Chains A and B, each alone.
Chain A
């Protein structure tokens, strides 16, 4: 029971096999399935991103692996900490943008840095829950094709309040995502503009 491409031996106990686990067809390589989990090189290092499937060599775009965690999956403390740290830095950027109301260059710089941090948060989505990705996507959409002058101070204050709320939440569920969306809509931020 060797995986041909990786050379790794099986660590699946024989008791976990089912009689219909071995499937072979003329066009597909041998695949072993144990209780719904495909046994290949992928199974042993799920977070490692490569340009293909390590067992078969089939290519797939790396971005396909970026999707959010499946429902019910546990978020690692490291991912939670990273998210909270970046969100906290976003609050700082927004505070600077609000304080530098008269200084358009400083305000612009603060918002540009905020956009960079939102990109960092987006990169974390593979380790976070689905609502996290939805919220970050929405927040990134707010800054699409918009200039710094397009944001009033009231809108930035509303945005900062939203980031502060996100900082306090270890897990973002549908309810939090909805309340955030509603708050931004009420604060005059057109969160669905990016889908125009």
Chain B
């Protein structure tokens, strides 16, 4: 299968579109992304996603928002916070913070004091909305195969009023979701994904695809291991969302390497949003049934 560029004659394969977490995150980027996202949305009648995407959105976006709020609190200055991120923070160790500072920190106001105040308000509003941002971009109901506990918890408000996104700390000793049951119910699909990954040439196996294969292999023997966040659930994240999208025929994502394999296995059309706007939107159609 291969990609073709989305053109004005394109007719969507289905009335519904399933969004990967990367699209929710890209909605907070600039017009180079948003214009193309809207173009794809216009092809479909309704959009959905997985409740698990909320956790990933929290880890990617809300975690950064919390960090930026901390920096504004520490420096009491947007100018200083941006200076710190640009010139003090080691970029190689924190590339996401640098990238998201461009998307989330904007100077708007008469002076640095007002810019700081406005930046803080914008960030707090985004934090207060929390994972509901993911839900509001879609039509209900969302796919909820795992009934993820952390997606229900959302942003936490501390006693001092500060808002925080807590990275999941789930343990198998305290089951709070049905990820292990979800895996057991869809064991054959996960197995197909593992076989497809294992049969790829070595140069196409990304670290994430290798992790999927590894975790699926372990979970075949013991699905309960998935309930431990770091060694299980976290390493299988994108594959969990992909299997939750099983009933959908069209997937929209910004991750090419993983989504290309996963949508092929699941027989779905893959709408890919490359970073470079000159490439527009690329589509990989499933083979005819």
Query: Taking beta carbons and an 8 Å cutoff, which residues of A are in contact with B?
Result: 61, 63-64, 66-67, 71, 130, 133-135, 137-138, 141, 144, 174, 177-178, 181-182, 185-186, 190-192, 194-196
Q: Please, which residues of chain A bring their CB within 8 A of the CB of B137?
A: 185
3 shortest interchain CB distances as A-B pairs: A63-B113, A137-B121, A134-B121
A63, A178, A182: which has the most chain B beta carbons within 10 Å? Answer: A63
Q: A43 CB to closest chain B CB, in angstroms?
A: 22
Residues of A within 8 A of B119 (CB): 195
Query: Which residue of the partner chain A has the closest CB to B106?
Result: A195
- Residue B89 lies at the interface, judged by CB distance under 8 Å to chain A: no
Q: Which of B31, B110, B122 contacts A141 (CB 8 A)?
A: B122
Closest chain A residue to B126, Cβ basis: A192
CB pair B113–A192 under 8 Å, yes or no, is: no
Name the residue in A71, A138, A186 with the highest tally of chain B Cβ atoms < 10 Å from its Cβ.
A138
Secondary structure of the A side of the interface? helix
Instruction: State whether B114 touches A66 (Cβ < 8 A).
Output: yes
For chain B, the count of residues having a C-beta within 8 Å of the partner chain is 30
Show 29 A/B contacts (Cβ-Cβ < 8 Å), sorted by A.
Answer: A61-B113, A63-B110, A63-B117, A64-B113, A66-B113, A66-B114, A133-B121, A134-B121, A134-B124, A134-B125, A135-B125, A137-B125, A138-B122, A141-B122, A144-B108, A174-B128, A177-B128, A185-B133, A186-B136, A191-B125, A194-B106, A194-B108, A194-B122, A195-B28, A195-B103, A195-B104, A196-B28, A196-B103, A196-B106
Bound Cα distance A177, B125 (Å): 8
Report the nearest B residue to A137, measured CB to CB: B121
Contacts A133-B121, A138-B122 given; does A195 touch B105 at CB 8 Å: yes
* A182 touching B136 in the complex, CB below 8 Å, given contacts A64-B113, A134-B121, A195-B104: yes
Q: Are A192 and B117 in contact (CB under 8 A)?
A: no
Among B28, B117, B121, B132, the residue within 8 A (CB) of A182 is B132
B129, A178: Cβ atoms under 8 Å? yes
Picked from A64, A137, A177, A196, the residue with its CB within 8 Å of the CB of B30 is: A196
Does B29 sit at the interface, judged by CB under 8 A? yes
Note all chain B residues with C-beta closer than 8 A to A196.
28-31, 103, 106
Q: Could you say which residues of chain B place their CB within 8 Å of the CB of A64?
A: 113
Residues in B with CB closer than 8 Å to A177 are: 125, 128
In the complex the two chains form, is B103's CB within 8 Å of A71's CB?
Answer: no
Asked whether B111 is an interface residue with its Cβ less than 8 Å from the other chain, the reply is yes
| Chain B contacts with A in 10-44, Cβ cutoff 8 A | 28-31, 34
Quick check: is B71 within 8 A (CB to CB) of the other chain? no
CA distance A182 to B30 in the complex (A): 20
A195 to B104, CA, bound (A): 5
CB proximity to A under 8 Å, residues B242-261: none
Specify which chain A residues have a CB less than 8 angstroms from the CB of B161 in the assembled complex: 71
Name the residue in A137, A177, A182 with the highest tally of chain B Cβ atoms < 10 Å from its Cβ.
A137
Known: A61-B113, A178-B132. 14 other contacts (CB 8 A): A63-B113, A66-B113, A67-B117, A133-B121, A134-B121, A134-B124, A137-B121, A138-B125, A178-B128, A182-B136, A185-B133, A195-B119, A195-B123, A195-B126
Chain A residues positioned under 8 Å from B118 (CB to CB):
137
> What is the distance, in angstroms, from B66's C-beta to the closest C-beta of chain A?
15
| Residues of B close to A66: CB separation below 8 A | 113-114, 117
A174 to B126, CA, bound (A): 11
Interface centre among A64, A67, A178, A192 (most CB of B within 10 A): A192
Residue of A71, A137, A174, A190 near B122 (CB, 8 A) is A137
Q: A194-B106, A195-B104, A195-B106 are in contact. Are A181 and B113 (CB under 8 A)?
A: no
B122 close to A182 (CB less than 8 A) = no
Contacts of A194 in B (CB 8 A): 106, 108, 122
Q: How far is the CB of A51 from chain B (nearest CB, A)?
A: 13
Residues from chain B with a CB closer than 8 A to the CB of A134 are: 121-122, 124-125, 128
In the bound complex, do residue B111 and residue A63 qualify as a contact, i.e. CB atoms below 8 Å apart? yes
What residues on A are CB-neighbors of B128 within 8 Å?
Answer: 134, 174, 177-178
A192 B111 Cβ-Cβ under 8 A: no
Shortest Cβ distance from B165 into chain A, in angstroms? Answer: 16
| Cα distance A192–B123 in the bound complex, in angstroms | 9
Docked Cα-Cα span, A138 to B129, in Å, equals 13
Is the beta-carbon distance between A141 and B136 smaller than 8 angstroms? no
Using Cβ atoms and an 8 Å threshold, which residues of chain A touch B124? 130, 134
Determine if B122 and A195 form an interchain contact, defined as CB atoms under 8 angstroms apart.
Answer: yes
Question: Which A residues are CB-close (under 8 A) to B34?
Answer: 190
Question: A184 — nearest CB in chain B belongs to which residue?
Answer: B136
